[in-house]
Amino acid sequence: MEIKSLYEEYKQYFNVGTCVGVPHFNGNNTETELIKKHFNLLVAENCTKMMYIYRGLNDFNWKEGDDFVRFCQENNKLIRWHNFVWHAQTAPWIFLKEGVPVNMKDFFQNNINPADYASKELIEKRLQHYIQTVCDRYKGKIYSYDVVNECISDKLFALRTREDHSLWQEVMGPDYVSKAFLWAREADPDAELVINDYNLETIPQKRQAMFDFVKEQKSKGIPIDTIGLQMHINIFDSVPFIEETIEMFGKLGVNVIVTEMEISLYRFEEKEKKIIDADLLKVQADKYYECFEVFRRQAQKGILKDVVLWGVQDNHSWKNDFPVPGRGDAPLLFDKDGKPKPCFNAIVK
């Protein structure tokens, strides 16, 4: 029997997207076909991150970004750009004085000597130039940008600091977020600008911190259009809490989108490998169903606009190696052979 298209199923309510890896848009495999059929909104899983593109002030590597955008356009897909400002997969040279060699090991171990930082003015110039140059290249093609990604600390419930592996506040001060949004709006006035983070839909203090932060930014006229809920959740997470979060953020006068969803079979702290049987997959299917019902309701209320999954087939999910390397997981809608799982059948009737 012909399988129905996921995005067609929900198109009167919201767009349905997925992240894609380079082999999916530069090749043709089962997963490429699934992407074309089931999703109308795409985001690159890695290749549009700063570390892959911004090699130097006048040294941009466009190859995979261009391939990704071309694939989306040829297949009539909306495009999300992930991302401009993040503490991970960044371009370490951007923080350093000219001539200071980039030592990736030191960078990842948070061992950069503050004496090696470039001036605030130079770092701002480099960041603005990055945002401007990306927008100049793709303006009119990008539907939505993640301008700032994961800026709220899980420990402080405030902007991340160097202790949370982010140098942005340390080198530019706390208004780096406002500046990035203002530069992005100026560079591409028609696209949606998103502040994106994880655990907003599961940890009350983090949710409150994001609410307070966006409220303050909006009161200063900073152009944040949308809050992105990553939704890297698991089968034990509370669906009513997720719905409450969407409604709470909606009260700020912003849209809400789901940006990176999957449903893990494991609690974060669980280490033992499970037997993945029909009962477990049924629990996951019920959770997907409940979430998509929430999305439908919140879309009907005009708050939720898009739902993006973080991958297509289980065997390509980042969760196979996180938080337990090599353990495996099965958090997505399709199995390793590209066959729809019970969770797919629960949301596409």
Active site residue 64: no
| Contacting ligand G3I within 314-333 (CB under 6 A) | 318
Output 63 or 282, the one with its CB closest to ligand G3I.
63
State in angstroms the smallest separation of the CB of 260 from ligand G3I.
5
Say how many residues touch ligand G3I, by CB under 6 A: 7
Our finding on whether 45 is near ligand G3I (CB under 6 A) is yes
Our finding on whether 262 is near ligand G3I (CB under 6 A) is no
Output 13 or 268, the one with its CB closest to ligand G3I.
268
Residues 6+ away with beta carbon under 8 Å from 131: 84, 147, 180, 183, 184, 187
Output 73 or 89, the one with its CB closest to ligand G3I.
89
State in angstroms the smallest separation of the CB of 146 from ligand G3I.
8
CA–CA distance from 118 to each of 104, 114, 125, 132 (Å)? 17, 9, 11, 20
Q: Mark out the alpha helices in the chain (DSSP H runs).
A: 6-10, 22-25, 30-38, 50-53, 63-74, 104-108, 120-138, 168-172, 176-187, 204-219, 239-250, 278-300, 342-347
Residues 6+ away with beta carbon under 8 Å from 250: 256, 298, 301, 303
- Which of 150, 192, 243, 262 does the annotation list as catalytic? 150
Q: Which residue is nearest to ligand G3I (CB)?
A: 318
Gap between the Cα atoms of 317 and 307, Å rounded: 17
State in angstroms the smallest separation of the CB of 91 from ligand G3I.
14
Q: Which amino acid is at 145?
A: Y
State in angstroms the smallest separation of the CB of 292 from ligand G3I.
21
- The DSSP call for residue 327 is -
Our finding on whether 89 is near ligand G3I (CB under 6 A) is yes
Gap between the Cα atoms of 195 and 224, Å rounded: 7
| Contacting ligand G3I within 263-302 (CB under 6 A) | none
Q: Which of 5, 30, 46, 315 binds ligand G3I (CB under 6 A)?
A: 46
State in angstroms the smallest separation of the CB of 319 from ligand G3I.
8
Check residue 99 and give left, alpha or beta (phi > 0: left; psi -120 to 50: alpha). Answer: left
- The DSSP call for residue 201 is T
State in angstroms the smallest separation of the CB of 230 from ligand G3I.
6
Q: Which of 230, 255, 298, 313 binds ligand G3I (CB under 6 A)?
A: 230
Residues 6+ away with beta carbon under 8 Å from 282: 342
CA–CA distance from 308 to each of 13, 56, 62, 154, 165 (Å)? 13, 31, 24, 23, 26
Our finding on whether 197 is near ligand G3I (CB under 6 A) is no
Output 124 or 150, the one with its CB closest to ligand G3I.
150
Output 124 or 130, the one with its CB closest to ligand G3I.
130
Output 89 or 300, the one with its CB closest to ligand G3I.
89
Q: What is the DSSP code string of 232-285?
A: EEETTS-HHHHHHHHHHHHTTT-EEEEEEEEEESS-TT--SPPP--HHHHHHHH
Active site residue 293: no
State in angstroms the smallest separation of the CB of 88 from ligand G3I.
5
Q: Which of 88, 163, 323, 336 binds ligand G3I (CB under 6 A)?
A: 88
Instruction: Give the angle subtended at the CA of 51 by the CAs of 50 and 54, to the nearest 5°.
Output: 65
Q: Which of 164, 201, 260, 314 binds ligand G3I (CB under 6 A)?
A: 260
Output 140 or 325, the one with its CB closest to ligand G3I.
325
Active site residues: 150, 260
For ligand G3I, the binding residues (CB under 6 A) are: 45-46, 88-89, 230, 260, 318
